[in-house]
A = this chain, B = another copy of it.
């Protein structure tokens, strides 16, 4: 469990939580536990995705994948335990009312499970062997990565007791950012440097998987990514006009080389 948790990675989900709280001018003692829980769920999903029967990846975050080091059985179990532990952490949040904790757990379970991340992964597997439409591709990514990228933003809104309008706008921000993030992931699989990214590149093309570049061309994908970035920033600016860490993270996500 610790091997994969401590392997590094961009920590984008925790960063989104802290930066959203910062944009809302809220400090909250529960933020670290929520950030850790989200990173645990993200990490479990990477461990399971990398398994031989799934994406069969040997390299992640620049290191051998969990099953390469510990074997498949322990890799599956460490993922199971990270998921279980992460969910349980949300039942132990300091200075959060029991009602709010339950709301967070409900949203977290939905974002991570069959109606979110796991469901997206199933759609992704099902779509591997056929050409997808852009709508189908977006549907996959909205679930597979979007849901768990949005969760920390929504969690921050809940901790900060925002009004429904603010929460709606920040949900829009997270939604568009999630798509921009995924498009950039697809672009990096073509243009990226394996050493920087820390995982195998060129896999999508070899497997003839539908991606944003394969459907839109590389330039078209970049244009689409920038459109979603702009929509994200527009929604964010309706909440807060000043420069924020949140905007910096959004810009990092779009310009990142890893």
Contacts and interface: CB of A to CB of B under 8 A. Distances in A.
Contacts of A48: 76-77, 80
Interface class of chain A by DSSP: helix
Q: Which bracket fits the contact residues of A?
A: 35 or more
A77 B44 CA distance: 12
A99 to B, nearest CB: 5
A105 B91 contact: yes
A83 B83 contact: yes
A200 interface: no
Given A72-B53, A98-B97, A102-B91, A77 B113 contact: no
Interface in A32-81: 44, 48, 51, 53-54, 71-74, 76-77, 79-81
Given A53-B71, A91-B102, A92-B106, A83 B84 contact: yes
Given A99-B98, A109-B91, A84 B53 contact: no
Nearest to A72: B53
A83 B76 CA distance: 13
A201 to B, nearest CB: 22
A88 interface: yes
A9 interface: no
A210 interface: no
Contacts of A83: 80, 83-84
22 contacts: A1-B114, A48-B77, A48-B80, A51-B72, A53-B76, A73-B125, A77-B118, A77-B121, A77-B122, A79-B80, A80-B113, A80-B118, A81-B118, A83-B84, A84-B112, A84-B113, A87-B105, A88-B105, A88-B106, A88-B110, A91-B103, A98-B102
Interface of A: 1, 44, 48, 51, 53-54, 71-74, 76-77, 79-81, 83-85, 87-88, 90-92, 97-99, 101-103, 105-106, 108-110, 112-114, 118-119, 121-122, 125
Given A77-B125, A81-B118, 10 more contacts: A53-B71, A54-B76, A80-B83, A83-B83, A84-B118, A85-B113, A87-B105, A98-B98, A98-B101, A98-B102
